[in-house]
Chains A and B, each alone.
Chain A
Amino acid sequence: MPEEEGTRSESQGAGPATDPDADLLARLRQGDEDAFRTLVTEQGPFLMRLVMMHVPSRSIAEEVVGDTWLAVLNGLDRFEGRSTLRTWIASIALNKARTRGTREGRILPFALLRRRYEEGGGPALEPERFQGRRGERPGWWASPPVAWEDPESQLEANETRDVLLKAIRDLPPRQREVIALRDVSGWEADEVCNALDLSETNQRVLLHRARSKVRAALEEHLKPEPEGQPR
């Protein structure tokens, strides 16, 4: 359990020394264009990557990110510094991506079927991968994980990156948001909880489902050619 939740200090008492955002924030509020340019240059590419995992196309992502920055500017005076600046910006972006996703008529087919798995329901792997009650060793692998071929160079390849991105897009929204922030953006658990307003346990359950499914997608992609086929 995190002892303190990040930067919980309300703006009045917190000096610039304790809050890394304070200086930037003050300059932004004064209308300092360089400060805004710095923020956009630093956060822009990460924000684009984050949003692109949640909307169907690059052009829509650009719109969502643009809207996000406008919302950031208009919300600057109300921002209380209860989370870090980047956490706050990301949660605005994800909110906008969420609304946009709904408006675009849903990226995913089978949305209804998937909803079942939404908040952590459903197993990490299909039950058929394990031996049933009558098996020799119930609950042990029936169909064990397949070794990946040459994982290191494969994982670097563009094709594999596309598989990862597709696997992420196919996840239910909450799982997608958690894995995008935790594993792709490299955020700590408590920061993700903060941005998505999740409990630590819930965050972990969503992360677990998401990682399990992405691993399964990689397994499918990286497994050796089926037997009987010439190499």
Chain B
Amino acid sequence: MNRRDKRMLTCQEMVELVTDYLEGRLDDASHARFEEHVAECDACTLYIEQMRETIVALGHIPPESVSREAEEELLAAFRTWRGRTA
């Protein structure tokens, strides 16, 4: 581990690689270096956990309801459109 050319990833580098990591786009060597850093760094472990929680939270934003009127207007527009092309 104390080989100079294989220095450990810094936290700042981890923060920039986290999406590639979560998306599974790191090559094997980078993946190993990434995990080597994280194994040793509680703050980065927390950071990744928070990224995961962020993604989950984003996925829980509910769809927006569409008003009845808007839907009726659309159906009216559809009939006009159909009339024009028929």
Task: Answer yes or no: are A and B bound together in one complex.
Answer: yes
- Judge if A7 is at the interface, Cβ distance under 8 Å: no
Contacts of A155 in B (CB 8 A): 53, 56-57, 60
Majority DSSP secondary structure for residues of A touching B: helix
Contact string against B for A residues 59-99, beta-carbon threshold 8 Å, 1 for contact and 0 otherwise: 00110011001100110000000000000000000000000
The 8 Å CB contact of A141, one of B43, B53, B71, B77, is B43
Q: Is the CB of A45 within 8 A of B63?
A: yes
Contact string against A for B residues 67-86, beta-carbon threshold 8 Å, 1 for contact and 0 otherwise: 10011011101110110011
With both beta carbons as reference points, the residue of chain B lying nearest to A33 in the complex is identified as B78
Q: Is the CB of A164 within 8 A of B19?
A: no
- Judge if B46 is at the interface, Cβ distance under 8 Å: yes
| Total contacting residues, chain A, CB less than 8 A | 56
Contacts of A48 in B (CB 8 A): 63-66
- Judge if B15 is at the interface, Cβ distance under 8 Å: yes
Q: How far is B57's CA from A211's CA once the two chains are assembled, in angstroms?
A: 11
Q: How far is the CB of A142 from chain B (nearest CB, A)?
A: 9
- Judge if A116 is at the interface, Cβ distance under 8 Å: no
B interface, CB within 8 angstroms of A: 10-13, 15-16, 18-20, 23, 25, 41, 43-44, 46-47, 50-51, 53-67, 70-71, 73-75, 77-79, 81-82, 85-86
What are 6 of the A-B contact pairs (CB < 8 Å)? Answer: A33-B79, A49-B62, A139-B11, A139-B12, A155-B56, A183-B59
